[in-house]
Structure 1
Amino acid sequence: MKGIVIEKSKDKLIVLTDDGDFIEIDKLSEKVEIGNEIVIVKEKNNIKKTLKRFALTAATFCMIILGYVSYCSLATQGYVSIDINASNNQSASVEMAYNSFGKIIKLQGLNKDGNSLIEKMDKVKFKSADAIINKFIEVSEKDEIISQEKENTIVITITAFNKKIDDESIDSSVEHYIKDNKINAKVMIVTGNKIDYKKSKQSDVQIDKFILMNKAMEKNSAYKFDDLNKMSIEEITSIINEQEKNY
């Protein structure tokens, strides 16, 4: 009988036989290396012991994999926030936490209208960010948060901690949804990082506005944080756009 050496210790070899069995045998020679094909005498009394060893190893490996998958599924890797600033002066904001697979694991409202709209949405856990954003836009329109007469602004802010979510895919999906459903709105994608997120929480300013305020101050140092904080997102965006035109 022949077999392939797949593991070796000081005085033993683990061999995969041509019958598909794992067996443990005494080391034949110091020259035998992993991957070598050798001729063996099948020792039945060793088969059960070897299979048991591999079964335990496989069970341990499965537990590690399941633990890792569980961690990846539940650990927050970043946030996506949506802020709908309607032309009728209404605003609805929500924040979503995503996991390593880019799926949403938590959704919370950031203001009264945001909380109200969440209650009208179906279960969202472990769905993609763009699917939830589009659903949020849908219920916002039904609740007349979004105006059909004038243009609305939808700001999507992505703050990645350890794993970046696909912002281009989100942007494309939302743009298509708005176009297909004839929603009068413009979409703005804002990106930040863990430091931005923490500072926005410390300042008690929504993350999208916080990032835009800092961008406006970078463009023109004459603008101060407290002054910009009193402005709307549309006003801050106008300042940024105006400054970019002048460059």
Structure 2
Amino acid sequence: MNKGIVMEITEKSVIVMRPDGRFQRLARKKRNCEVGEEITYADEGINWRNLSVAGRSAIVAAVVFCLVLFASFQGKLGSQEVVAYISIDINPSVEMGIDIRERVVELHGLNEDGEALIQQVDYKKKPLETVTAGILNRAESMAFSKGEAEIVIASTVIQPDSKISDTLIAEKLRLQVKEYIQTSHPTQVDSYHIASFAAPQEVREVASQNGVSMGKYTVYLNAKSSGAAITLDELKTRSVLSIFKESPEMAQMMAPDRLPTKAAIKQLMEEEKSGELDKRLQERLINREKADTNKGSTISLPDNTAPANEQKSSTVPSGSGKNDNNKDDKDSGNSRTVNARPGSPHSSVVTIPGVVRQADKKDDRDDRDDRRRGNNRDDDDDRNSRSIWDNRNSVEKRLREEAAKRLEEQKKREEEARKKLEELREKAEELKKKQAEEYRKRLEEERKKAEEQRGKDEEKRKEQGNRDENQRKKKDDDDSDSKKEPASGGQSLQNADREPEKVWNGSFTFPIFNPHP
């Protein structure tokens, strides 16, 4: 039940002022009340019969608008539509799909260990942080039990208009995993390495087609770009930790300060589609093989390290001065190169004193030139790789700075909006108080007027009552006098013999003396 003070009364309605200062019109019905009186009443529903056509149309339009608004926001507020995916590679490898409120609506295992990991994880409509914590707890008895791990976190947004930042999500999960490791393995923090980055949507599509996660496919692209020979089949069955142990350059490639950006990953994907990565990898492998062959193809041995039997067969003792070979030996600088015999512990070419072959010298020069060219090419590739990574790092740094700047601007806008909202609330509160005060004053005036009117009405009623009482008394007196008048006449006749009296108007008698007794 509600209470209100009657402010105005009409033939069909009563206007009351509620305790919050608002006015409300009520149907008068059979209410018997006065202005200034406090009454109680129940809430009245919508009376469709009394509504006009315009009122009914307005209500129907409002209902339709609410339905359309609910339908338009259904996908953003209450649906379970996936707007972003996050993959976590620890071996197990898992992937989560989240909605616009960052609640997990999908959870998949990307390998056998991942399928086993998610069996007892409750994820439906749970926050992303809660599901991640459950995955980390389950992985404690699997990957984390080894005391070391390479953790790769990748995220991508599949609906750009969802206003969710994949970079911020990846960074948030990285901090959560880092905090978990610091808490669970405080003495082994340096043995756990975490890499997190945002990937393009195309990476997830290609990775899903090949049966790997976004993180592992990104590792695959960067490995090929750096000249590391690795296949997708190896990534399916092996952990990132084992791959990085065999290829330290790949581990350095996924260092926190050298992580690829979305633009760099997209460029690598285009090169993979065009075959440029395979061509570059093949060239690097050939150059590396040539360099390794050239390094182990020749060994220069001093005179005292040559085999004894070869020294005897190729060098004449100093006492036999008649041998023509001595002259040739002196002219040639007492050094020649011949092929070593098969099975020699040395390489295929051995430097032996006293034997010189021009073809061998030319081969040596060619080998040195090839090695020099190969080394120069490798140096150029390394410089190009470093330049590419430096560019990627600079781009990533710029993107992070821009993201931080946008986040700061958004916080400022939110703070300004909050201040404006607070000011509006204060103004509304002041206006409400002012209106309530005015209503109270009006109410007080109405009450005073009502009290004065009641006093006047009471005085009028009292005066009217007094007049009525006087009239009643006068009427009673007149009635009593009319009843006494006949009795007075009879008494005068009975006393006629003794003393005559004159009756005048039945009220006064005067004695009359008879001159003749």
**TM-score, reference length from structure 1:** 0.66
Equivalent position of 1:120 in the other structure: 120
CA contact (8 A) 1:80 1:156 kept: yes
CA contact (8 A) 1:80 1:158 kept: yes
Q: 2:185 aligns with which of 162, 182, 187?
A: 182
Equivalent position of 2:211 in the other structure: 204
Within 5 Å, give how 1:33-182 maps onto structure 2.
48-72=52-76, 73-84=79-90, 91-122=91-122, 124-141=123-140, 144-162=141-159, 163-165=164-166, 166-182=169-185
CA contact (8 A) 1:154 1:186 kept: yes
> How big is each residue's C-alpha offset from its partner over 1:133-167, in whole Å with a ceiling of 9 and x where there is no partner?
121010221xx203445212222221221243432
Gap regions ≥5 residues in structure 1 = 1-17, 22-44, 85-90
What secondary structure, in the 3-state scheme, does the structure 2 residue paired with 1:230 have?
helix
Q: How far apart, in 1, do the equivalents of 2:54 and 2:195 lie?
A: 60
| Letter aligned with residue 139 of structure 1 | R
Residues 199 and 52 (structure 1), Cα distance of their counterparts in 2 relative to 1, 3 Å cut? same
CA contact (8 A) 2:85 2:96 kept: yes
> How big is each residue's C-alpha offset from its partner over 1:38-80, in whole Å with a ceiling of 9 and x where there is no partner?
xxxxxxx995433333322332232233323432332221211
CA contact (8 A) 2:87 2:213 kept: no
- Structure number with larger C-alpha Rg: 2
Q: How far apart, in 2, do the equivalents of 1:95 and 1:128 lie?
A: 15
Equivalent position of 1:239 in the other structure: 249
Q: How far apart, in 1, do the equivalents of 2:65 and 2:80 lie?
A: 20
Q: Tell me how many residue pairs correspond in the alignment.
A: 195
What secondary structure, in the 3-state scheme, does the structure 1 residue paired with 2:134 have?
helix
Cα distance, 1:114 vs structure 2:
1.8
Q: Which has the higher strand share?
A: 1
CA contact (8 A) 2:87 2:155 kept: yes
Q: How far apart, in 1, do the equivalents of 2:154 and 2:217 lie?
A: 10
Cα distance, 1:169 vs structure 2:
2.2
Gap regions ≥5 residues in structure 2 = 1-21, 26-48, 259-381, 387-517
Cα distance, 1:20 vs structure 2:
9.4
Q: CA RMSD of the aligned region, Å?
A: 3.1
What secondary structure, in the 3-state scheme, does the structure 2 residue paired with 1:76 have?
coil
Higher relative contact order (CA 8 A, sep 6+): 1
CA contact (8 A) 2:82 2:98 kept: yes
Equivalent position of 2:202 in the other structure: 195
Q: Which has the higher helix share?
A: 2
Equivalent position of 1:213 in the other structure: 220
CA contact (8 A) 1:80 1:129 kept: no
Residues 48 and 19 (structure 1), Cα distance of their counterparts in 2 relative to 1, 3 Å cut? farther
Cα distance, 1:121 vs structure 2:
1.8
| Letter aligned with residue 149 of structure 2 | N
What secondary structure, in the 3-state scheme, does the structure 2 residue paired with 1:101 have?
coil
Residues 193 and 20 (structure 1), Cα distance of their counterparts in 2 relative to 1, 3 Å cut? farther
